[in-house]
Amino acid sequence: MSEPILELRGINKSFGPVHVLHDIDLTVNPGEVTALVGDNGAGKSTLVKCIAGIHPSDSGEVLFEGEPVHIKGPRDAAALGIEVVYQDLALADNLDIVQNMFLGRERTKGGLLDETDMEQAARKTLASLSVRTVKSVRTQVASLSGGQRQTVAIAKAVLWNSKVVLLDEPTAALGVAQTRQVLDLVRRLAEQGLGVVLISHNMNDVFEVADRIACLYLGRMAAVVGSKDVTHGQVVELITAGRSGDLGIARPEAATI
């Protein structure tokens, strides 16, 4: 296995008196999909926000490509090549696909927007992800379906030569066919050598695309397992009880809080 692209060591995060993340360790490997699962309130979204720099962690170490880094804000994360695709898609309805993909990082020539260059780059990126369901890259996002929006949001993350893509429940609001579309896309991202972190509640999705599954339980990393080594039931137990047989955190009596 190649060197992990992103490595978290002992991440802690509190919101006031609430200790949300306890000593989280997590590695993300290039070319792999790491699923992050856990019950509501387990700290999945908080962990993603720590990585993305939206809520900087209180303590702990982050290594990116083996080098220790300090992520203090979203811009730091973006500069490293960490992109987040949020659950509530961060797309502007009144702009078209190209405009959305380049939002905040427009390419300019002599101070003016270089529309043709951006349009070509957007089409190349979509083509490289084998996205063919979008009629035209100049379509307004308002007139796209949920799956197409998700696709654009993911393609936006890929456009920036990012190395790690974090997807927060990308299939939560999608129908069957659209979920299929997005899962294929997630797989393709990993095939292109990116480190992918997928947050999902849907076990079918997780088992379909993930190489490894990281289970959070009440803010602790219960277990990180290979998706081929565990069964559906075991993961569900890890999510709901924090342990399953030999896997997971020790019995509550032994745990120190």
Partner 1 sequence: MSSEEDSMTNTTETPSQDTPAPGAISDFGIDTTSMSTGEAMRDYWARVRGGELGSLPALLGLVVLLIVFSSLSDTFFTLGNLANLLQQGASITIIAMGLVFVLLLGEIDLSAGTASGVTASVMALHLIHNGNLLGGMGNTVFYVFCGLLVLAIVLASLMRIWAGAVLSLIAFLIAVLGVPANAWLEMLLAVCVGAAIGSITGFLVAKVGIPSFVVTLALFLVWGGVVLQLIGQGGTLGLRDDTIFNVANGNLNTAGSWLLCVIAVGGYAAVVLTRHFTRLRKGLVAQPTSLVLAKIGGLALLAAVATFALTQNRAPTDLIVIEGVPYVVPIVLVLLVIGTFVLDRTSYGRHIYAVGGNTEAARRAGINVEQIRMSVFVIASSAAAIGAIVYSSKVGSVDPNAGGGNTLLLSVGAAVIGGTSLFGGKGRLRDAVIGGAVLAIIQNGMGLLKQPAAVVFIVTGLVLLLAASVDALSRRRAAVAAR
Binding site for partner 1 (CB under 8 A): 74-75, 78, 86, 88-95, 99-100, 103-106, 108, 111-113, 115-116, 119-120, 123-124, 126-127, 132, 135-138, 140, 142-144
Q: Which is nearer to partner 1, 113 or 255 (CB)?
A: 113
- Exposed / middle / buried, residue 95 (Cβ in 10 Å: 0-12, 13-18, 19+): middle
User: Shortest CA distance to 102 belongs to which of 84, 110, 114?
Assistant: 114
For the bound state, the minimum distance from the C-beta of residue 109 to partner 1, rounded and expressed in Å, comes to 10
- Minimum CB–partner distance for residue 230 and partner 1 (Å): 34
Residue 242 CB, nearest distance to partner 1 (Å)?
Answer: 32
Give the residue from 92, 90, 98, 89 showing the smallest Cα distance to 123.
98
CB of 157 to partner 1, least distance (A): 12
Do 141 and 111 contact (CB within 8 A), yes or no? no
Q: Which is closer to partner 1, CB of 69 or CB of 95?
A: 95
Helical packing angle, 176-191 and 146-159, nearest 10°: 10
Q: In a 3-state reduction of DSSP, which class is residue 187?
A: helix
Instruction: Between 140 and 227, name the residue whose CB sits nearer to partner 1.
Output: 140
Residue owning tokens 């030569």 = 161
6 versus 89: smaller Cβ distance to partner 1: 89
Closest to partner 1 by CB, 120 or 204: 120
CA–CA separation, 238 vs 227, rounded Å? Answer: 13
- State the nearest-atom distance from the C-beta of 166 to partner 1, in Å: 13
What residue type is 138 in one-letter code? R
